[in-house]
Amino acid sequence: MTKEKHRNSGLGALSIKNVTKVYDPEGVNVLAVDDCSMEIAGGEVCMIVGPSGCGKTTLLNAIAGFHSVTEGSIHLDGDLLCGPSKPLADQGADRMVVFQHGALFPWKTLQENVAYGPMVQKVLAPREAMDKASTMLAEAGLGSFLTKYPGEVSSGMARRAEIVRALINDPKVLLLDEPYRAMDALTKQIMHESLLETYDRTGVTIFFITHDLEEAIFLGDKVHIVTTRPCQLKKTVEVKIPRPRSYETQSSEAFRKLLEEVSDAVHEEAVKAFQAGEREMA
């Protein structure tokens, strides 16, 4: 039901238009993103795939409001996030980020971490926020870890709690930056299923950066392949595998064909990035 509501109202549509980002850390201009445009419909799972250090994270940082854009504009549901008149987007709870290395506050318990957002935004009283946090953590299978600190649970559990911490704020967009990068294949599988289940329940727009191609196809509605630095949209592959998906999907013929298509496009960029000798940037 919730999903339908999101889909129908088309909430969380991101429109990235001609975004360019130039860094000049040491007096030399580095072009990270060059005239990159993308349209992401509300409630879509959009996977961004590209070689390491190509500027994918720069794009995410611009949407989240961590970095400014040099040129171009980004709109969320028609409202300007950042553009020529306002290069740096405001940070806000309508776009929640799940970080590459995990950023649950290690000094707060899982429950306190999840309750933090509604509490500081004052949308819920502390008591209610803690109750809602415990309910949502229980739904994510973390009911018996409420009072544990992030350092006491496995990385998979911490990551799941971090996604709950994002979702409790009812964001329009979930921005994930290679969240499962450091995980072993088995844990990753479980995390994927859990994320798909969450998505089927909430229908939130997902902007997901990865360079795991199977992950991209398994989770996504669309896979955007971007070029090596500077980052530009190279190709978009639509994944027309029906939802709900389960891990058997990965052995289907359709899946294999998509994987081949994406691999071909990415491989070329990976070779270019390798030849440019770009250092792996986290």
Partner 1 sequence: MAMGIALRMGIDMSANSSTTNQNGKIIAPQGFDLFVYKTKKYLGQLDPYLTLMGIGLWLFAYWVLCEGLQIWRFDKLPGPVAISKDWFAVDPFQGISIFTQEYYDHIIVSCRRILIAFGIATAFGVPLGLFMGWSRTIRDYIFPIIEVLRPIPILAWVPLSILLLPGFEGPVLFLATLASFFVTTLNAMLGVDSIDEEYFRAAGCLGSSRWDVFKNVVVPGALPFIFTGLQISIGVAWFSLVAAEMVSGDLGLGYLIVDAYMNNVTVPMVIAMITLGFIGYFSSAMVRMLGNKLMAWHVKELSQQGR
Q: Which residues contact partner 1 by CB under 8 A?
A: 64-66, 91-93, 95-97, 99, 101, 103-108, 116-117, 120-121, 149, 151-152, 165, 169
Nearest approach, Cβ of residue 102 and partner 1 (Å): 8
Nearest approach, Cβ of residue 61 and partner 1 (Å): 9
The burial of 186, by beta-carbon neighbours within 10 Å (0-12 exposed, 13-18 middle, 19 or more buried), is given as exposed
CB nearer partner 1, residue 84 or residue 106: 106
Nearest approach, Cβ of residue 169 and partner 1 (Å): 7
CB nearer partner 1, residue 14 or residue 266: 14
CB nearer partner 1, residue 45 or residue 96: 96
Residue type, 194: S
21 Cβ partners below 8 Å, 6+ apart? 31, 32, 33, 55, 58, 59, 62, 67, 68, 69, 70
CB nearer partner 1, residue 80 or residue 124: 124
CB nearer partner 1, residue 113 or residue 227: 113
Q: Report residue 89 as tokens.
A: 């987007």
Nearest approach, Cβ of residue 96 and partner 1 (Å): 6
Nearest approach, Cβ of residue 107 and partner 1 (Å): 4
Q: Identify whether the C-beta of residue 244 lies closer than 8 Å to the C-beta of residue 196.
A: yes
Q: Identify whether the C-beta of residue 210 lies closer than 8 Å to the C-beta of residue 227.
A: no
**Residue indicated by tokens 């409202």:** 79
259 Cβ partners below 8 Å, 6+ apart? 213, 214, 217
